[in-house]
Structure 1
Amino acid sequence: MPYKRKKEEIAEALIGDEFLPPQDLQAEKYVLASILIDSTSLLKILDFLKPEDFYSTAHRLIYKACLSLFEKDEPIDIVTLHNELERENNLEKVGGAAYLSEIVGLLPTSAHIVHYAKIVKEKSILREIIRISQDLIYKAHYSMEDAQEILNYAEKAFFDLAYYGKKDTFAPLKEVIKDTIKHLETIYQRGDLITGIPTGFYELDKMTAGLQKGDLIILAGRPGMGKTALALDIVRNACKQANIGAAIFSLEMSKEQLCARMLCAEAKVNFQKFRTGQLDANEWQRITNAASTLS
């Protein structure tokens, strides 16, 4: 078997001709129909739905023309879309004026455009997963790359795909206000001064109301001032009091060193005695109990 084998042949051998790639042509039509009914509905999907997400070439060209009209700040309706496709020499490729008329008459409202767009996006991602998987099979069988290089390719490809088309973090103020009021109602009903995750340090919690979602908290100080010890205490207290998990990343200490510090803090045992193993029976018992608690 020759080293260079077409990926299309690999794909055909894997899935056969009877299997079509994931797609939903009806959902694609509904997205386009929604835009033609109400061009402002395009704003709801603009940030995550791309032309290449459409399986149908005709639908891809129509959506691309809609985006072109939007970028030129022109109205998007069946007349302007017809002219734009004609100008790009794509009108006949999409099925002509008759197909545009068919699409625009599919829906009475554009209210569900986001739902349809998410279906289209989902199918697009599934197709891309298949494509990446076929590439990996091809590389694993016939490439001169070593295993680690192929793993690096796979990691990057799937990582990029996971973030492809993610919605931007911009949000209308109306939505933010709604979420903020909902959060306010929740903490009001709780009636607790600590609305976030407790650190276990009363004065600190009183000033901050706990660690809040989205906060970036930096512990600053000179070397040897106890920043790591404080951070570990906060993590330990937060996990115990709020019953949550936490991840610790350290460029200075190994996982064993971090664990030893947490055990000593929980057991109230001198760290130097722990390091040298000079523990009495009572301290050993406290370390054992601490291990059970932290586990």
Structure 2
Amino acid sequence: MAESLKNAPQNLFSKKGNEEQGDSSDVTRALPHAVGPEKSLLSTMLQDPQEYMAHAIEEKLTASHFYLPNHSTLFGFLLEMFENGSEVELVSLVQRLLDRGLLERVGGPGYLTELYTYAPSPGHFRHHLSHVKDKFVLRSIIRTANEAVAQAYETPDEVPELLDSVEQSILAIRESAETTEAQTMKQTVEEVMRNFQMLLSKERQSLGISTGFEELDKKSGGLKPGEMFVIAARPSMGKTSFMMNIVENICLDQGKPTMVFSCEMSSAQLVQRLLFARAKFAVSRLSRGYTPVKKELERVRNASVQIVESKLFIDDTAGISINELRAKARRKKKDEDIQFIAIDYLQLMKSRTKQAENSREREIAEISGGIKALAKELSIPILILAQLNRGPEGRTGKSLGVPRMSDLRESGSIEQDADLVGLLYRNKYYAENEEERAALEGKAELVLAKNRNGETGGIPLTFVEDLMRFETGPPAEEME
């Protein structure tokens, strides 16, 4: 045992004394460990492998959790035997280790016998397992901190990337420390039946978060956790308005904490759109000398109160990097439990890695992949706007202005990462004369070009231009 501790990992901190006082000695500290509980776990698993090896696997115990190298090697070998269905008993274990040249590495026959006779109470297995995992977490924190300190002293060129890397490493430690128990068949069936009842319910037609657009919800099933929804359009089609209409429904009507990242418009501009669209008041009329009546003022006041009392968070950092966005989103998820993120828009974001410096497609791929990874990490849906290239203008006849998924700028990675892709357009924009423009007034369509978990197709919409608002059905009559 003394020999085992002697060979234990010693990735240590060093503390130098005050050189002016002549103290130049180094004081070292061993990493956190729990040798006794490690022996207890191995002894219990050796005596009853069927019961306790299975339990260790369920608890995501790995060879890395063990501090002593011989304990780590032995557990890895036991795990291999268990997964292969081999019987675990002392004689065959010694022989197998000998055949593989691992016997001395685990401490020899004497140490295996010591583990067998250690004989802890099986009732302490969970308690000792918790000790071992806690010490592993502490070692992981120290290792991550040491690596961060070393990289920081090396003055890396990409400081934001280092910050994001450190944050991810810390979050990974937390995730590895958490154990998710498998659902029983009863729990699984109950969940399926709950979802089935939701689909049957007239009150709720989707399993995800409702967008407020009935036809879109029917086709998509709502915006689900971990999904990335791309809304793409040419300039002036109203994609920001469409995004804010969805934000309004999710945040104000459903009361879900929501975060908006705006790379193009200021927070004041977005709130102005949201406020007057909700109040159903065309603020553009004020510039023409219109004086609002009392009911209109009341609607504006009520809408402003609703927005103030909501949990809507807007970040209008221009040219925000994907790493900065992810860091801010993580903190807001932790502090406010945000349930939805909207981003305006993808091509205005940045990726400041060296690989992205000389390749726009590489940069877009890193941004798109980063957003999809964030949606999965936070387990919330993310809607992101994207710009289309000039492809729609180059078409003729009935296809003039009609977008296709291939019109997405640097489209390959976006198409691959997105769970849903909606192409927004208004025919009025391509009308050749005033008569045709008047006939197409208010008509819009969202083409659901990709839907990983449902049907695709066109979704008719109405655009109320004065209110900068999309609606399902005919345009709302002007309110007095």
| CA spacing shift, 1:272–1:135, aligned 2, 3 Å | same
Aligned to 1:103: 115
In the alignment, the residues of structure 2 paired with residue 120 and residue 280 of structure 1 have an alpha-carbon distance, to the nearest angstrom, of: 72
Q: What is the root-mean-square deviation of aligned Cα atoms in Å?
A: 4.8
Aligned to 2:168: 159
Aligned to 1:229: 241
In the alignment, the residues of structure 1 paired with residue 161 and residue 217 of structure 2 have an alpha-carbon distance, to the nearest angstrom, of: 46
In the alignment, the residues of structure 1 paired with residue 290 and residue 36 of structure 2 have an alpha-carbon distance, to the nearest angstrom, of: 71
Aligned to 2:306: 293
Tell me if structure 1 keeps the 8 A contact 2:251–2:257: yes
Cα drift, residue 24 of structure 1 = 2.8
Aligned to 2:459: none
Tell me if structure 2 keeps the 8 A contact 1:264–1:270: yes
Aligned to 1:53: 65
Do structure 1's residue 175 and structure 2's residue 184 form an aligned pair? yes
| CA spacing shift, 1:156–1:202, aligned 2, 3 Å | closer
| CA spacing shift, 1:130–1:58, aligned 2, 3 Å | same
Tell me if structure 2 keeps the 8 A contact 1:85–1:91: yes
In the alignment, the residues of structure 1 paired with residue 176 and residue 14 of structure 2 have an alpha-carbon distance, to the nearest angstrom, of: 31
Cα drift, residue 245 of structure 1 = 0.7
| CA spacing shift, 1:9–1:225, aligned 2, 3 Å | closer
Which residue identity is paired with 2:137?
I
| CA spacing shift, 1:198–1:66, aligned 2, 3 Å | closer
TM-score, with length taken from structure 2:
0.45
Identity fraction in percent: 23
| CA spacing shift, 1:199–1:150, aligned 2, 3 Å | closer
Tell me if structure 1 keeps the 8 A contact 2:43–2:115: yes
Tell me if structure 1 keeps the 8 A contact 2:40–2:120: yes
| CA spacing shift, 1:197–1:207, aligned 2, 3 Å | same
Cα drift, residue 126 of structure 1 = 1.8
Which residue identity is paired with 2:38?
E
In the alignment, the residues of structure 2 paired with residue 43 and residue 253 of structure 1 have an alpha-carbon distance, to the nearest angstrom, of: 55
Which residue identity is paired with 1:13?
K
Aligned to 1:193: 203
- Count of residue pairs brought into register by the alignment: 279
Render the CA deviation track for 1:124-167: whole Å, top value 9, x for unaligned. Answer: 23212112323444555xx3525x64563353144135336749
Aligned to 1:74: 86
Q: Which structure has more helix as a fraction of its residues?
A: 1
Aligned to 1:5: none
In the alignment, the residues of structure 1 paired with residue 305 and residue 221 of structure 2 have an alpha-carbon distance, to the nearest angstrom, of: 26
Equivalent of residue 14 in structure 2, options 7, 12, 15: 12
In the alignment, the residues of structure 2 paired with residue 35 and residue 279 of structure 1 have an alpha-carbon distance, to the nearest angstrom, of: 81
Q: Which structure has more strand as a fraction of its residues?
A: 2
Render the CA deviation track for 1:193-233: whole Å, top value 9, x for unaligned. Answer: 33856637484598489747537474767546555434322
Aligned to 1:4: none
Tell me if structure 2 keeps the 8 A contact 1:197–1:212: yes
Do structure 1's residue 38 and structure 2's residue 45 form an aligned pair? no
| CA spacing shift, 1:280–1:128, aligned 2, 3 Å | farther
In the alignment, the residues of structure 1 paired with residue 80 and residue 11 of structure 2 have an alpha-carbon distance, to the nearest angstrom, of: 36
Aligned to 2:394: none
Render the CA deviation track for 1:175-196: whole Å, top value 9, x for unaligned. Answer: 36514415756997xx983385
Larger relative contact order (Cα-Cα within 8 Å, sequence gap ≥ 6):
1
Aligned to 1:22: 32
Aligned to 2:225: 214
What 5-or-longer segments of structure 2 have no aligned partner?
Answer: 1-9, 17-25, 309-480
Cα drift, residue 54 of structure 1 = 1.3
| CA spacing shift, 1:235–1:32, aligned 2, 3 Å | farther
Equivalent of residue 126 in structure 1, options 133, 138, 141: 138
| CA spacing shift, 1:82–1:154, aligned 2, 3 Å | farther
